Structure 1
């Protein structure tokens, strides 16, 4: 099946691959190492172009650097704007200093955390590489969008395996597209507009943190599922 025994969420959270990953720790909002570069758009500009109160949820936000900068910029340039920003990360290694208004950084597992509101923008920059049940996170996050909200996440379908350890990339990509999502196989990026139902019809078995590097060149986690239809 895998190179070793599969890990549950508790064991995975203690894994050196997950706890010590640096993929998103210092990524800023704009510039060479930024959300704008990875996502293909600037989250701040996306929110600024919309009307009324806005909310941005960043899953696996790392140090929260991008959120802190965006919240600070809004406070300085548009103090009248009602913008909420929420960052979730497994490890409480958030940047220190004063927090701009409207910003909340929470140490929690994205597999278990649930919001109390809907969001105009949901992002996950390279975070799913280190999550066990990646498909469930996508299923849940899709339900947290406002009607015209946008979800964008880095997602490597090749990291999803079946019970025999074979790639389930084609099956996953087909399910995503049938649900109305877009999956960019070259950029390894998944996105959707508005809340939608996404059901992969798969039972999560566990994760392998010894799967080795993925397309980023960094060690990542492979997720194993038993599909209801073989």
Structure 2
């Protein structure tokens, strides 16, 4: 009886060590991909939160801007009304000043039409009416009234020219003509990057009483910073951070 020799079984295409190496590399790639995806999720989540915060600030700035425009329109209307009243009073006073001079020809015409017997009486009456003392006194009184009206008009216009601030009282803001002037002065002196929080600490060193006041002041200051950035006076380095523009003349 002869023995039959079978061929050896085929070796696997990849050895165990090779397969282990492949799967270890796959594991490393998957771990890197998972880490990248987590970083992307965190980044986009932070961006979304930042956009939401900016959206809330924009809404507050929008309301603040509308309130400022409404206040300025009201101030302009009052100033125009005061000026119109002053011009009307001045025109009326000029007509009253011209009235005595225009009445003299009429008195002369009436005097000529009277009989000769009443000439002496009419002459004396005309002399009385043309008495230099009385008209000068009247003219002085009348001419002084337009001056008073003009001075009153100017004082009233000056009073309404500067809009009344709706922000909480601040000794720092009161030193400037406007909130914009205060903000620009602060940014220029800092010579660096500033934020709304820095402005609030500067204008209200003792802090604000309520959260509502803080939001109101923050909205107002943010509006000024954004508007001055659009004009090219300031630059925004990152969201919420501003500095004096390099090409702006100090």
TM tier, shorter chain?
A: under 0.3
TM-score, length-scaled by structure 1: 0.25
Greater C-alpha Rg: 2
TM-score, length-scaled by structure 2: 0.23
Higher strand share: 1
